[in-house]
Amino acid sequence: MIQPANRTQGIKEYYFSIKLKEIAKLNEGKVKVLNLGIGDPDMSPSEDTWEMLKEACSHPKSHGYQSYQGIPALREGFSKWYKTFYNVNLNPANEILPLMGSKEGIMVTSLAYLNEGDEVLIPNPSYPTYTSVTNLLGGKIVSYPLIEENNYQPDFEALEKRDLSKVKIMWVNYPHMPTGARASRELLEKIVAFGRKYKILIVNDNPYSFILNDSPMSIMSIEGAKDCCIELNSLSKSHNMPGWRVGMICGKAEMLEPVLKVKTNMDSGMFYPVQQAAIKALSQDKSWYESINKVYKTRRKLVFQLMKLIECTPREDQGGMFVWAAIPEKYKDGYELSDKILNTAKVFITPGGIFGDQGDKYIRISLCSSEAVIEEAIKRIKK
């Protein structure tokens, strides 16, 4: 057998990929599994976004290769969006780079900045892709804990006691996934000051800022952020477009140049009609976000009921499209509770340990299922 690259030995198949296979097997039975685990928005993009997609498909050049940097109108759309909702000025010519989803941005940014052996500060718990990409590229993971008692904020005093001389990148993510913790302006100022002091590239992954969060914030709004920060954003959560694969990265032009260099060697521009539809999506006013958050608020109340039923304790002040909750002490970890509910009630909830060992005593439930599905899950668990 031809041996795979050594770099693949440092990563595992994504947890949800494995779990969905297990769920598919269980679904061969009479009772289908209710999946409350994955943050896959089930609501639709706006109607005019759909109409623009259809209209743009008839454009005579819609089938052709597109610019690696996206069409100018899309970059302008992102720029206006940032100005309107984050009060951030971005030059659409060279401070915005559209991506095929912000997950791509994690890889291309790491490829652009990481050398083998460079250290990367990764929050624990956090999105597993930060860790897997760092492992793939031969970076050294330096985990920093985020704990409930500290409102899931970095302990800068503890960080500054470390040897930070080899740290190249620090990943941050607010509103935080999976905990739902929000960032204050004061916290973002501390993060920027830390990056500038130690010459560390701060990458803020910011896809959840419009979900159950009254005050969307961007790290790019902080004075001095462009000296050391870049930010990823996405339409997947904010505009119900996860499968459309539309994201972006923004920052100072000189900091985006290495990312663009990598990206142009990995893919081509996104489908023209998708870009035009994204422009329309970005033009939605505040009422769009209010309408989807109204639905999420109703679902969150039901999920809080479900959490109470299984004796888990969520914090009330969470943002984003998940509910994070501490498990009862009678369970060894979230995996045990998750497996019990899956096997007895045919309901899947996410064990917090997949996001790092700081999540071992927690579970996470997605708000991306209808009220009817959540109510059915409650009925099953009661039985």
Q: Cα(210)–Cα(39) distance, rounded to whole angstroms?
A: 14
Residue with the two structure tokens 């009060």? 87
Q: What letter represents residue 101's amino acid? A: G
Partners of 350 in the β-ladder:
364
Q: What letter represents residue 173's amino acid? A: N
The sign of the CA dihedral 309, 311, 312, 318 is: positive
| 3-state SS track over the chain | CCCCCHHHHHCCCCHHHHHHHHHHHHCCCCCCCEECCCCCCCCCCCHHHHHHHHHHHCCCCCCCCCCCCCCHHHHHHHHHHHHHHHCCCCCCCCCEEEECCHHHHHHHHHHHHCCCCCEEEEEECCCHHHHHHHHHCCCEEEEEECCHHHCCCCCHHHHCCCCCCCEEEEEECCCCCCCCCCCCHHHHHHHHHHHHHHCCEEEEECCCCCCCCCCCCCHHHCCCHHHCEEEEEECCCCCCCHHHCCEEEEECHHHHHHHHHHHCCCCCCCCHHHHHHHHHHHCCCHHHHHHHHHHHHHHHHHHHHHHHHCCCEECCCCCCCEEEEECCCCCCCHHHHHHHHHHHHCEECEEHHHHCHHHCCEEEEECCCCHHHHHHHHHHHHC
105 within 8 A of 118, measured Cβ to Cβ: no
Regions in the chain scoring below 50 on pLDDT:
none
Q: Cα(32)–Cα(73) distance, rounded to whole angstroms?
A: 44
pLDDT value at residue 5:
87
pLDDT value at residue 223:
96
Question: Could you read off the pLDDT of 144-154 as tens digits, one per residue?
Answer: 999 999 999 99
pLDDT value at residue 38:
85
Exposed, middle or buried by CB within 10 Å (0-12, 13-18, 19+), for 8? exposed
Note the CATH architecture for domain 7-44+287-382.
Alpha-Beta Complex (3.90)
pLDDT value at residue 229:
98
What does CATH list as the number for 63-284? 3.40.640.10
Q: Cα(128)–Cα(242) distance, rounded to whole angstroms?
A: 18
Residue with the two structure tokens 């500038």? 196
Sheet of 313-314, strand order: 313-314, 322-326, 362-366, 350-351
Q: Which residues contact 204 (CB under 8 A, 6 or more apart)?
A: 172, 173, 174, 191, 218, 219, 229, 230, 231, 232
Neighbours of 6 (CB within 10 A): 8
Q: Which residues of 23-38 are buried (b: 16+ CB within 10 A; e: fewer)?
A: beeeeeeeeebbbbbe
pLDDT value at residue 234:
96
Q: Which residues of 115-153 are buried (b: 16+ CB within 10 A; e: fewer)?
A: eeebbbbbbbbbbbebbbbbbbbebeebbbebeeeebbb
Q: In whole angstroms, how far apart are CA 165 and each of 161, 200, 251, 268? A: 12, 9, 23, 36
User: Could you tell me the residue ranges of all domains in the chain?
Assistant: 7-44+287-382, 63-284
Question: Could you read off the pLDDT of 58-95 as tens digits, one per residue?
Answer: 998 888 889 889 999 999 999 999 999 999 999 999 99
Question: Could you read off the pLDDT of 17-39 as tens digits, one per residue?
Answer: 888 888 888 888 888 999 999 88
pLDDT value at residue 252:
97
